[in-house]
Amino acid sequence: MPAMQGGRRAKALFLHTMSDRINTISEAVLFASLLLMVVVSVLQVVFRFFFTALTWSEELSCFLLVFVSLLGSAVAFKKGSHIAVTFLLDKLKGGAKKSAQTVIALLGLLFFAIVAYYGAVLMQAEAGQLTPAMGLSMKWIYLIYPVVGGITIVHITDWVFRIWEEA
């Protein structure tokens, strides 16, 4: 039995480390994307006012806004900072609380598995479409859904492991 617990602990440690590293990368990408969005938006205003408008800047700003919103939600899942109504959960103790948290996590896993799956389907379906101003394939735009779905699945799975590790 101790060998099995050691194996389970090693898996949990690997999952914790992977989730933490993914989150570190996500936060860096999130910062860079927000910075790029600000720079592009400022350039858009400057060029529209003083020069010829940049035809691609508004489209890129919109795509970046969606990207940072979705990636930011994955980071918020990792940090546990999404808004939540916990008055019922707070009344539970011990195994009942852990079981309720696990059910909540399983529902989250189901939701983000659906997001990831249908995001991949959307990527395939829209691969032939191009963005109007930048001429990029829409599959690159829709890639965010499977990526964020996968990242959030890792974070929620890590959360479940952490719930059941607590004594």
pLDDT in tens, 66-122: 999 999 999 999 998 888 778 888 888 988 999 999 999 999 999 999 999 999 999
Q: Rounded to an integer, what distance in angstroms lies between the CA atom of residue 24 and that of residue 11? A: 20
Query: What is the tens place of the pLDDT at every residue in 4-24?
Result: 467 778 888 899 999 999 999
CB proximity list for 61: less than 8 A, separation 6 or greater? 37, 40, 41, 44
